[in-house]
Structure formats: structure tokens, C-alpha cells
């Protein structure tokens, strides 16, 4: 790899505020925002930091396999308030909590002491059974995806001070203040690119307007660039359903064309006057898509669609390879030509043994030259990364059922 590429890594700071989804009369924690932003950051950047009280809390909860006995009840109460548990588990918790309150009121009596001992035994059994359910719940709401991104070494999850203790004591105010400070620093830090969800954008905009959040030109410029890329990614087919593992594999395959895509994002975002956290930015991003991106993607699709020379060559070569003295076997023709034709320069075609094969297949050299030119022009396009990412998502080459696999 060129020493120029290694000079600096593109780091993204993600700010995602707590989100819930209404299910009946209950509100359940939702990690869709976190996952969408993490996938966009991993696809566009080199590494990222996720600042999310909810993801940090849930990852801490997953790691908290055996809390002290005196803390288990508080933790279960907190989990219940998040709306994570099903009706059966909630009913069991109601029963055990009511039993505990009655026993605690009688704690100075012999009967109360006996009931507290029963409660401790019941609490242990409930905790063990809930551990399995919690693992499944965490997977369902997307914690596995965040954990997988963290395990890849490309994502750091911001650690809030004494978060586990705050969860147990239900002290949210300190977390809110720390979150605001963390995301505010991202817009003035020249070493990172800020990427925020809608609620955090409103918070940043209000803070800047009130003069309490300083912002640098770097922060504005980089925020526009990475936010524009993220909004374009969200338009890709199947991107919302893609797993973190799928995104990481696509990112590895398209490392080279990503550099040109970033150049395109710089150029497009420079045309946008509003900052990423301004109310008109979404409209600006839509205009970029309609004016600059969509027409180019349609052209790339047309190039790939009409450039069917290679498939025609392979099929005809395979058919005729046995008709002209067995130049090569059908399977070798297919695999050998696929590698050769996609990698050799035009000048090398005549020097190779595929020359007679081209003639035998009835395929002209000029047709090959046209195919090679079309393929090269597509791959050199600054939006080829974006086009190819969408194609890979549609093809399902790296598709996985879940991030737990």
C-alpha cells in the first residue's frame, strides 16, 4: 500500500441518543439508530467511536453476568423499566418484588427473616433464568451487532463514568451531561468526523446557536462530508437490513475505490452551505443525490448491463474449445479466461494463447477492446464504490442471517 494512504486514518465520532419503539402500551429500547450510524461509519471511515448511553449500558449489562446479590433486585427493576422483558417475565418479577416488600416490612420478625431467606433463593433462581432470556433479548434489539463491531477493533464504544452504578441507582442526569459534552467535543476536534442522529443534531444546533458549544471549520466541513455519505448509504437497497459483518466484508472488498468515493463526498459537500446539524441539510443531501449521484449510478448500471462481452466470450469459448483441436478444456477455458481477461493489458492479448481461442469463438479483438475500456471506465468512476456496494447488497454475496453467526 502506498505510504500516502497510510499517513492518516479517517476517524468518525458517532453520537446516538436514546431511542424507543412503542409496542402496544409499552416502550422498548431501540438500537436501530446506533446500528445504522455504526454501519455507515464502518463503511466510510477507517475506525470510529460510538457515543451512545444505551449501547454502552447494554454492553455493560451483557458483561454483568453475576452482580452482587444486593444489587440484583435494583438491576432487575431497571431492566423492567426499559421494557425489555416479555409479559410472563414481568409477571414473575412483580410477584417476587411484592413478596420482597412484604418480607422487608416484617424483617424484624422471625417470619420476616424466613421470608427474606426464601426471597434470596427465589431471586437467585429468577436471575439465572433471566440471564438466558436477556441474552436473546439483547440479540433481538441489536446488541450483537454493536459487540461484533467492537470486537473487530474498528469501533470503540465510549465508556461513561460509573455507568453501571448509575444504571443501578437510576441516575440518568449525569449520563445526559456527559453525553452532551462528548458529542460537543466532536464538532471542535480536528482529529475526527462527527456523525450524529437527528436528536443529537438538534442538540448541537441549539448549543451552537446559544454560544455554549464551540465549533471549528474542520468540524463543519467534516460533519457535512460524513453525514452526506451516511444519508446516501441509507438509500442503498437492503442497507437497513445488512448486518455489521456484511458491511465489514463489503468494506474490505472495496478498499481501493473508497478513496475516490471520499473525494466525491468532499466535492459534493463543499457545494452545501448548511452544516450537517442545520435543518436544511437533509434537503441539500437530497438535491446532491438527485443532481449528482442518481444520474451517475444510472450510467454505471447501463455500462455494466450492456458490457456483456466477457460472458459471451466465456460461453462461446467453452462451447468451441473442443471443436478446434481441444485448445483448452471447457472448465479451464472458463476459469483461465476469467482471470486472464480481467487482468492483462490490451497489448498482451495477442501474445497469449487466447488469441486462437478468440478467433475460434468468433469474437473480435475490437469487441474485447471495447469491453476492457468500459470495465475500466466504470471502476475509475468516483461513485463506483457506492454503486458496487449497492450491487453487493443486492447480490447477497456477504449476506448473513444475523450478527450472532
Q: Which three cell numbers stand for residue 295?
A: 444520474
Model pLDDT for residues 61-99, shown as the tens digit of each residue: 777 666 666 677 777 777 777 666 777 777 777 787 788
Model pLDDT for residues 380-397, shown as the tens digit of each residue: 899 999 999 999 999 888
Higher per-residue pLDDT: 16 or 137? 16
- What pLDDT score does 403 carry? 64
Helix (H) or strand (E) segment spanning residue 339: helix 330-343
Q: Tell me the CA distances in angstroms from 389 to 33, 123, 148, 154, 399, one per residue in order.
A: 21, 49, 20, 19, 13
Distance CA 52, CA 40 (A): 15
pTM above 0.95, yes or no: no
What is the rounded average pLDDT of the residues 123-128? 74
- What pLDDT score does 399 carry? 76
Q: Would you kindly state where each structural domain of the chain is located, as residue ranges?
A: 9-62+145-289, 65-143, 306-395
Query: With DSSP H G I counted as helix, E B as strand and the rest as coil, what are the percentages for the chain, rounded to 5?
Result: 65, 5, 25
- What pLDDT score does 270 carry? 95
- Least confident residue range of 4-13, 340-349, 377-386: 340-349
CA neighbor of 293 nearest in space, from 251, 231, 248, 380: 231
Please report which confidence band the pLDDT of residue 35 belongs to, taking 50, 70 and 90 as the band edges.
very high
Distance CA 229, CA 338 (A): 33
Amino acid at each position: 500500500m502506498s505510504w500516502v494512504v497510510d499517513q492518516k486514518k479517517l476517524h468518525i465520532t458517532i453520537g446516538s441518543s436514546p431511542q424507543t419503539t412503542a409496542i402496544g402500551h409499552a416502550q422498548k429500547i431501540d438500537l436501530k439508530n446506533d446500528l445504522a450510524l455504526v454501519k455507515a461509519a464502518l463503511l466510510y471511515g477507517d475506525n470510529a467511536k460510538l457515543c451512545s448511553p444505551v449501547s454502552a449500558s447494554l454492553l455493560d449489562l451483557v458483561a454483568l453476568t453475576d452482580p452482587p446479590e444486593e444489587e440484583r433486585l435494583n438491576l432487575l427493576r431497571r431492566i423492567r423499566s426499559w421494557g425489555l422483558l416479555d409479559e410472563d417475565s414481568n409477571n414473575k418479577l412483580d410477584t417476587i418484588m411484592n413478596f420482597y416488600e412484604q418480607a422487608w416490612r416484617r424483617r424484624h420478625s422471625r417470619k420476616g427473616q424466613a421470608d427474606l431467606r426464601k426471597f434470596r433463593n427465589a431471586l437467585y433462581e429468577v436471575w439465572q433464568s433471566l440471564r438466558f432470556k436477556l441474552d436473546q433479548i439483547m440479540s433481538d434489539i441489536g446488541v450483537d451487532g454493536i459487540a461484533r463491531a467492537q470486537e473487530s477493533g474498528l469501533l470503540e464504544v465510549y465508556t461513561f463514568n460509573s455507568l453501571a452504578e448509575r444504571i443501578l441507582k437510576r441516575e440518568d442526569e449525569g449520563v445526559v451531561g456527559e453525553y452532551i459534552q462528548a458529542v460537543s467535543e466532536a464538532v471542535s476536534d480536528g482529529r475526527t468526523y462527527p456523525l450524529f442522529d437527528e436528536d443529537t443534531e438538534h442538540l448541537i444546533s441549539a448549543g451552537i446557536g446559544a454560544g455554549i458549544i464551540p465549533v471549528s471549520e474542520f468540524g463543519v466541513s467534516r460533519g457535512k462530508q460524513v453525514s452526506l455519505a451516511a444519508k446516501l448509504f441509507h438509500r442503498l437497497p437492503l442497507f437497513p437490513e445488512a448486518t455489521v459483518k456484511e458491511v465489514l466484508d463489503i468494506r474490505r472488498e472495496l478498499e481501493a475505490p473508497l478513496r475516490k468515493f471520499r473525494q466525491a463526498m468532499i466535492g459534493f459537500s463543499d457545494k452545501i452551505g448548511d452544516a450537517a446539524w442545520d435543518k436544511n441539510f437533509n434537503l441539500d443531501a437530497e438535491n446532491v443525490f438527485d443532481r449528482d449521484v442518481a444520474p451517475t449510478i444510472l450510467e454505471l448500471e447501463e455500462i455494466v448491463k450492456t458490457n456483456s462481452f466477457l460472458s459471451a466470450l466465456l460461453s462461446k469459448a467453452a462451447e468451441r474449445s473442443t471443436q478446434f483441436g481441444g485448445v483448452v478444456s471447457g472448465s479451464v477455458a472458463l476459469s483461465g479466461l476469467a482471470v486472464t481477461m480481467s487482468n492483462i493489458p490490451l497489448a498482451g492479448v495477442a501474445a497469449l494463447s487466447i488469441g486462437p481461442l478468440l478467433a475460434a469463438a468468433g469474437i473480435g479483438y475490437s469487441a474485447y477492446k471495447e469491453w476492457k475500456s468500459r470495465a475500466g471506465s466504470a471502476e475509475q468512476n468516483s461513485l463506483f464504490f457506492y454503486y458496487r456496494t449497492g450491487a453487493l447488497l443486492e447480490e447477497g454475496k456477504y449476506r448473513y442471517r444475523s450478527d450472532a453467526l
